[in-house]
């Protein structure tokens, strides 16, 4: 609804607003195809780092979009716990994934969920 209100008001840079509204926790809202496209281009190290400390549902939505071999590697890493992993590193990894998601949507690879809601 917020996006429709902004659109109706003629808010400039609607993409920029959408980008700021998209967060790491919104990844499950992407289509499976979009998640596959997104995670295909990301390293397992980055994905592993970003998934540390997330909910099981969020982790599953990400892992379901990754090939079996990479998924096993990530799950094994996550199974060892997150002790000693700096929160700043986890936050940076999540931010990289969000930035990549926004970039791919701008390039037309897929639409962000908020874009689909406003349409």
Listed by start position, the domains of the chain span 2-118
Token pair for 105: 């949507």
Token pair for 117: 């809601």
Which overall architecture, per CATH, does domain 2-118 show?
Orthogonal Bundle (1.10)
CB 102 within 8 A of CB 22: yes
pLDDT at 22: 86
SS3 content of the chain, % helix, strand, coil (to 5): 70, 0, 30
CB 18 within 8 A of CB 115: yes
pLDDT, mean over the chain: 85
Q: Which residues of 50-68 are buried (b: 16+ CB within 10 A; e: fewer)?
A: bbbebeeebbebbbebbee
pLDDT at 1: 53
Q: Which is nearest to 53 in space by CA: 22, 21, 84, 96? A: 84
pTM of the model: 0.79
Q: Does residue 60 have a pLDDT over 50? A: yes
User: Of all residues in the chain, what percent carry a pLDDT higher than 70?
Assistant: 78
């Amino acid at each position: 609804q917020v996006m429709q209100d902004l659109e109706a008001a003629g808010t400039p840079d609607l993409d920029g607003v959408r980008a700021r509204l998209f967060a790491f926790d919104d990844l499950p809202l992407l289509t499976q195809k979009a998640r596959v496209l997104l995670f295909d281009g990301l390293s397992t190290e980055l994905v592993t780092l970003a998934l540390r400390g997330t909910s099981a549902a969020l982790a599953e939505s990400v892992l379901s979009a990754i090939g079996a071999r990479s998924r096993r590697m990530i799950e094994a890493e996550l199974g060892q716990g997150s002790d000693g992993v700096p929160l700043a590193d986890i936050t940076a990894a999540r931010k990289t994934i969000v930035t990549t998601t926004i970039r791919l949507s701008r390039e037309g690879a897929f639409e962000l969920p908020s874009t689909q809601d406003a349409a």
